[in-house]
Amino acid sequence: MMSPSIVSAAQLHLMFGRLNTLDDRSVVALSQSYGYKDDVAVTIAKAYRSLVSEVPPVTPLTTRPVKRLGIVGASSVPTALWPYLLLADCLNIPVKIKIPARDISSIHLLQDIIRRTSDTTQIAKRCDVEVTTQAGDVLLDGGFWDECDRILVFGSDATLALYRKRFPEPGMVIGFGHTESILVLDLEQARTDDRWMADLLAFGHRGCLAPHLVIPSDQVQLPDLAPLMLSRLNEKVEPDIERAISLRQRFHDLKVHGESACLSADGMWLASHAASITLGTIPGQLQIVDPSLMMNTVCNIGGLSLPETLWASSSDLDLIQARATWKCRWGSAQFPTLNWCNSGVPILTTITQ
């Protein structure tokens, strides 16, 4: 008789199908009960639906789920952790999470969504999730990770290096370091189609898969792209003093060095034409780059969001497409499905031995 810790492909398909029974209205109501505003609640529901809408192509597992999963989440957006927590719930794997203190409401939301899903579908008892918050990215003291046989690290490359040094055992740490996502804009379609804005507006542009690099599909469009984007994005996010100060300082720095830069009227978005790529994750900062600049960069591309006109085409973006871990249509950049291979690592692989 097969051990109950071994999950077959058929069981996984059944689990994912049942996860879909939590309707969008329930997710929106749950989000609102945690204080998220209407537009963010809808975004959360969209992310949840995207995550559970595709059943990954799986084969029968001959490996065991890890006994306890550790997750280090340095990104302040809930979607990055959802697929892992959903699978942990399916496989009844206890989870220990370290997350910045500002994100505690997001993790509580995720826990409640998983609990509600489990209660609705009766697929498993509530997943045991222990949450610890701390300023900064590192939690290596006090034996917090002692019971974990796998730790997933989402954060900076420096944080990842610290965890790998602390836990040198093979397979103990699976890291997802810094990535940059790319938004490809077709200028004419961008004037009439709002879906590209969803990639930037989801979660206030604070997600780890939020595009910061923008590539025009036609280089003739380059000078017109920044003004169009900023006019469409103006007053679309909640005002944030800290964000506005950071962007204005960055705007002045670019101007002082003679670089082309535009700041939106609300001060929430900065777009600049880049002769070289500067990696960074300041919310609201966008770099408009020539595709050729991406060809030889060491940038780890987390997601590539394309308009419908380029979805099936092959051009100068071929190399970028091959390196991107998440290729999607406009509007889905921050909502990876369960088929997503983060940094080339399938989600299912991260929770089995």
Q: Output the DSSP codes for 274-332.
A: ESS------TTEEEEE-HHHHTT----EEEEEE-HHHHT--STTHHHHHH-S-EEETT-
Beta bridge partners of 73: 154
Residue 257 lies in a domain: yes
H-helix or E-strand containing 33? helix 24-33
Of these ranges, 189-193, 311-315, 320-324, the one predicted with the greatest mean pLDDT is 189-193
Residue 333 lies in a domain: no
- Same domain membership, residue 50 and residue 141: yes
- Same domain membership, residue 161 and residue 242: no
pLDDT band at 3 (very low <50, low <70, confident <90, very high): very low
* Domain containing residue 80: CATH number: 3.40.605.10
- Same domain membership, residue 216 and residue 96: no
Look at the chain and report how many structural domains it folds into. Answer: 2
Dig out the tokens for 300 from the structure: 């780890």
pLDDT for position 4: 46
Residue 331 lies in a domain: no
Residue 200 lies in a domain: yes
- Same domain membership, residue 273 and residue 223: yes
Residue 12 has pLDDT above 80, yes or no: no
Dig out the tokens for 215 from the structure: 């590539």
- Summarised one tens digit per residue, pLDDT across range 220-260 is 677 789 999 999 999 999 899 999 999 999 999 999 988 88
- Same domain membership, residue 129 and residue 271: no
Residue 151 lies in a domain: yes
Residue 198 lies in a domain: yes
Residue 126 has pLDDT above 80, yes or no: no
pLDDT for position 148: 93
| Cα dist from 335 to 135, 199, 230, 269, 295, whole Å | 26, 9, 23, 21, 25
- Same domain membership, residue 212 and residue 75: no
- Same domain membership, residue 193 and residue 78: no
pLDDT for position 56: 72
Dig out the tokens for 64 from the structure: 């065991």
Lowest mean per-residue pLDDT among 49-53, 63-67, 246-250, 317-321: 317-321
What is the C-alpha separation between 264 and 239, in angstroms, rounded? 12
- Same domain membership, residue 153 and residue 201: no
pLDDT for position 2: 38
- Same domain membership, residue 281 and residue 215: yes
Stronger pLDDT, 231 or 324, i.e. the higher one: 231
Specify the length of the chain in residues.
Answer: 353
Residue 281 has pLDDT above 70, yes or no: yes
Contacts of 147 (CB under 8 A, 6+ apart): 67, 68, 96
Residue 124 has pLDDT above 50, yes or no: no
pLDDT for position 301: 82
User: Which pTM value belongs to this model?
Assistant: 0.84
* Domain containing residue 297: CATH number: 3.40.309.10
- Same domain membership, residue 255 and residue 163: no
Residue 290 has pLDDT above 70, yes or no: yes
Stronger pLDDT, 82 or 218, i.e. the higher one: 82
pLDDT for position 1: 35
Q: In the predicted model, what is the mean pLDDT of the chain?
A: 82
What is the C-alpha separation between 301 and 64, in angstroms, rounded? 30
Residue 136 lies in a domain: yes
What is the C-alpha separation between 12 and 18, in angstroms, rounded? 10
pLDDT for position 105: 78
Q: Give the phi and the psi of residue 272 in degrees, each rounded to 5.
A: -140, 145
pLDDT for position 19: 79
Residue 337 has pLDDT above 50, yes or no: yes
Dig out the tokens for 113 from the structure: 């969504």
pLDDT for position 61: 64
- Same domain membership, residue 232 and residue 218: yes
- Same domain membership, residue 164 and residue 204: no
- Summarised one tens digit per residue, pLDDT across range 173-217 is 998 877 889 999 988 888 889 999 999 998 888 888 899 999 988
Q: Cβ of 133: how many Cβ atoms within 10 Å?
A: 14
pLDDT for position 114: 79
Collapsing DSSP to helix, strand or coil, 209 comes out as: coil
Q: What is the dihedral of CA 50, 329, 277, 207, to 10 degrees?
A: -20
Owning domain of residue 125: 9-178+342-350
Q: Give the phi and the psi of residue 193 in degrees, each rounded to 5.
A: -120, 120
pLDDT for position 130: 82
Stronger pLDDT, 134 or 72, i.e. the higher one: 72
Residue 3 lies in a domain: no
Which residue pairs from 99-102 have beta carbons closer than 8 angstroms and sit at least 24 positions apart in sequence? Answer: 99/72, 99/73, 99/74, 99/131, 99/132, 99/133, 100/73, 100/74, 100/76, 100/133, 100/134, 100/135, 100/136, 100/137, 101/133, 101/134, 101/135, 102/76
